Structure 1
Amino acid sequence: MAAHFGWNLRQLDVKNAFLHGVLQEEVYMSQPPGFIDPQYSDYVCKLHKSLYGLKQAPRAWNDKFTSFLPSLGFTSTYADSSLFVKQIDSFVVVLLLYVDDIIITGNAPTLISDVISALTKEFDIKDLGPLHFFLGIQIISQTDGLVLSQAKYVKDLLTKTAMLDSKPCSTPCLPYNRLVLDDGKPYNNPALYRSVVGALQYLTFTRPDIAFAVHQVCQFMQRPMESHFSVVKRILRYLKGTLNLGIHYVRGGLEVNSDTIRAFSDADWAGDPNDRRSTTRFVVFLGSNPISWSSKKQQTVSRSSTEAEYRALATTAAELDWIKQLLTFLHLAIPSSPVLFCDNMSAIALTSNPVFHQRTKHIEVDIHFVRERVAKKHLQVQFVSSSSPRVYLLHSFKLIVAISVLVSPPELEGGC
């Protein structure tokens, strides 16, 4: 929204955030060394406020902050408990909280300054100015929008794994290559494997092109093999060659398409050789900007490609429902029902007509809720060819990224 409307993004930091929390439970602490009362050395301290190290500290801080925001006119939503919105007439201020880091934006600079002043009086807050770096994500402001990149994060990861001088490769994984559970010898450093794969998971926030490859290696955290770590190293080599890629959010991107929310859904039937389960993949666009994507294995085995695609449609429809709730809370009007694209005609038929009953009566009831959404005209399901140019290697490498998503920021060197 900030990219589309050209809003300024401000970043705030709360100093010693956990010390602001007020405890609701009775918590006692031994007298700290150097401050023991000689007359009552066997006494303990009763805490009224939280301290760092307490299990209650994060919750106490969150309760303290979120209970103060309504006094400033902010409201919250069940769709995202960290998001708060203040609206006065046509003016909107949006505040996002992540532990002690705050992002604030909106179309009313005066209101934003008033909110920052009120927060500063109540808490020890430092105004970091315009948003440039947040949770490892670099935000670059341009005249035509925003670019999100994790180039520094990738470089630190390559340095940690001694892959900074490795030879780059052109793809994050080999086509049609699926990992097998017991393939070769066990890897001698499982802790390193879990650490690197966990770091790669966080990287998918701005790099959807590695989502499927990371999804594969995540399945072997418990007992990784040498062949699995070889795939991890291939992902790192791919990142070495695409170090500066990121996502470009275009200003005015909501007007690019008549259908404001569009989603692309796909599934590979029985693609996992270990348990024959299918993998659901989807990407959701708000106008021309991608806002949500996923590559995740389905919980049960599908008996046909139609069932696998139908389950993927249901998963994507649930994501679209959540996004609609979030956008409604942000006072962003959606002119039309979201459009969900699928390349399986049989699965599309199931969303509007209970055909093939004998073949689908074993499917769980909750999966059929996508049919209810279509019947109420809350969702449109349309066919898209698997060779559509809008989908980038969706079937070849199982990536879930559109051609226009990944860019190289002009301020950074390299990239493609």
Structure 2
Amino acid sequence: MSEGEPLQDPTFYRSIVGALQYLTFTRPDLSYAVNTVCQYMTAPTEIHFNLVKRILRYIQGTLNYGIQFTHGPWQLQAYSDADWAGDINTRRSTTGFVVLLGHNPISWQSQKQGSVSRSSTEAEYRALANTAADLAWIRQVWLDLKVCLPQPPTIFCDNLSTLALSSNPVYHSRIKHLDTDFHFVRKRVQMNDLVVQYVPTQEQIADVFTKGLHSPIFLSHCISMRLGNPEQDPELDLRANDNNIS
């Protein structure tokens, strides 16, 4: 998505995108789209500005979206996912995760991975390690505040190979370049500080943070994160038009 006429006033683009970043603090559903347009701050084009306007139209149609905290179990759980080689220019993958307290989102991320992953399992495992690190930090903060969890946090992942690696005591040479991530996750699983479970792809909430989704799936995941259920046009979404992607 690098073609198009350069904007005459890129400062205006940057100011809007900068403001959108603040919205992601309470609107997890915006994280992936805003993260995408942030990648073109240096030299934005008309195509990129059209994507920004699409985000603004989506916000206009979902003004009553927002995190709605509800009563639920005192349990930390997270959904972790990765879009393998999704960037057609660099082939870097995108990590996405959301941490829930009960049913309420309290932490989330949509971010390009720092290096190119050679397989979907590698990309998913990097995402799993990032999620585990976030959970470890949250849990440590709570321990410092004398708040104890009744059971260890759970991460839901939709990649069976990644799930197997997280608990497999045998070290695989094909993932030796993931040495730190591999041992970090596996050690926490062995110490019963973390549980990794499988979730079907259609129930993987973290998909919202890794790629553009069709409206019904996107809205379903938003409802699962307790962002609300507004009456809106079911065709309203954040995906770019295919003609705008090159």
Q: TM-score range by the shorter chain?
A: 0.7 to 0.9
| Contact 1:392–1:401 under 8 Å retained in 2 | no
The code of the aligned residue for 2:152 comes to S
Distance 1:351 1:332 in 2: 27
Q: 2:205 matched to which residue of 1?
A: 391
| Contact 1:341–1:381 under 8 Å retained in 2 | yes
Q: 2:236 matched to which residue of 1?
A: none
Aligned residues with identical type, % of pairs: 54
Distance 2:23 2:144 in 1: 28
Distance 2:6 2:96 in 1: 29
| Contact 1:340–1:381 under 8 Å retained in 2 | yes
Q: 1:293 matched to which residue of 2?
A: 108
CA 1:392–1:219 in structure 2 vs 1: closer, same or farther (change >3 Å)? closer
Once the two structures are superposed, the pairs formed by residues 255-404 of structure 1 within 5 Å of their partners are 260-353=75-168, 357-388=172-203, 391=205, 394=208, 397=212, 401=222, 403-404=224-225
TM-score (norm 2): 0.84
| Contact 1:283–1:401 under 8 Å retained in 2 | no
Q: Highest Rg: 1 or 2?
A: 1
Q: Cα distance, 1:228 vs. partner?
A: 0.6
Once the two structures are superposed, the pairs formed by residues 66-215 of structure 1 within 5 Å of their partners are 180=1, 182-215=2-35
Distance 1:344 1:356 in 2: 18
Report Cα offsets for 1:136-155 as digits up to 9, x if no partner.
Answer: xxxxxxxxxxxxxxxxxxxx
Indicate the SS of the match to 1:407: coil
Which of these residues, 56, 59, 69, is aligned with residue 249 of structure 1?
A: 69
2:227 corresponds to 1:406 = yes
TM-score (norm 1): 0.51
Q: 1:228 matched to which residue of 2?
A: 48
Indicate the SS of the match to 2:134: helix
The code of the aligned residue for 1:203 comes to L
Distance 2:223 2:148 in 1: 25
Q: Cα distance, 1:206 vs. partner?
A: 1.1
Distance 1:224 1:368 in 2: 40
Structure 1 residue ranges without an equivalent (≥5): 1-179, 409-413
Runs ≥4 residues deviating over 6 A: none
Q: 1 or 2, which has the higher strand percentage?
A: 1
Tell me the C-alpha RMSD between the 2 structures.
2.1
Higher relative contact order (CA 8 A, sep 6+): 2
Distance 1:185 1:236 in 2: 21
Q: Cα distance, 1:307 vs. partner?
A: 0.2
The code of the aligned residue for 2:27 comes to R
Q: 1 or 2, which has the higher helix percentage?
A: 2
Q: How many residues align?
A: 225
Distance 2:83 2:170 in 1: 22
The code of the aligned residue for 1:223 comes to A
